[in-house]
Structure 1
Amino acid sequence: MSTGRLPEHEQRILDEMELVLRQDRQLTARLWVLRLGPRARAALAGRPHPFTVAVFAAVSCTLLFIGIRTSSPGVVWAFALVWSLTLAGFVRVLCRWTEP
């Protein structure tokens, strides 16, 4: 293969192709995700790590006991938010473990 410059018409075609590809936002996003490591890709794909779900469960339990003890609306709402995230994460992890 030659290492010289492309002929004028081939360079123009290549520039047009690059322009079209740069305008494709979905392709840009997919290529950006591919540059990330496997853990970051898993996090972006909505696949939580089991350790993360366990930490959320521990925080949920702590907020539950604090909410029972204090009856503070802020703590109860924080518990509701963290608990829903914990359940969603648990379901995602469980689905991933049961995939064939």
Structure 2
Amino acid sequence: MTIGRLSAREQRVLDEVERALRHDHRLDRRLRTMRLSRLPDLSRLAACRPRPLTAVLLLAVSLTLMATGIATSVPGVIWAFALSWPVTLFAVFRLLCHRTGEERER
């Protein structure tokens, strides 16, 4: 790869590409709002609304893991419960918040 200046044709092609990119408003907005933070975007997570079946299944899995962990004391089962329980609580909490919000609107 050469380090010298671009030829007239290459410069013209580069100018056309830059002009096309300047007119792409979606790309411009995404580049302006792009974060350099290492923290995850929790706004999408906070806006999630789990389905009732999902919350019930998570609750059933968590309670099964809890009972199995108590009965067997296997570290893997206890860790699986420790990982699934907060997700279950979050899903149930979001579902209840959504349900009570609907009743308040009526």
- Going from structure 1 to structure 2, the CA distance change for 1:77 and 1:16 (only over 3 Å counts) comes to closer
Of 25, 30, 38, the match for 1:25: 30
TM-score (norm 1): 0.59
Pairing 1:58–2:60 present? yes
- Going from structure 1 to structure 2, the CA distance change for 1:23 and 1:62 (only over 3 Å counts) comes to same
Task: Provide the C-alpha distance between the structure 2 equivalents of 1:16 and 1:53, rounded to a whole number of angstroms.
Answer: 44
Stretches of structure 1 lacking an aligned partner (at least 5 in a row)? 1-14, 27-42
Classify the secondary structure of the residue corresponding to 1:24.
Answer: helix
Aligned to 1:76: 78
Deviation for aligned residue 1:44:
9.0
Stretches of structure 2 lacking an aligned partner (at least 5 in a row)? 1-19, 32-44
Structure with the greater alpha carbon radius of gyration: 2
- Going from structure 1 to structure 2, the CA distance change for 1:18 and 1:45 (only over 3 Å counts) comes to farther
Classify the secondary structure of the residue corresponding to 2:50.
Answer: coil
Classify the secondary structure of the residue corresponding to 2:24.
Answer: helix
TM-score (norm 2): 0.56
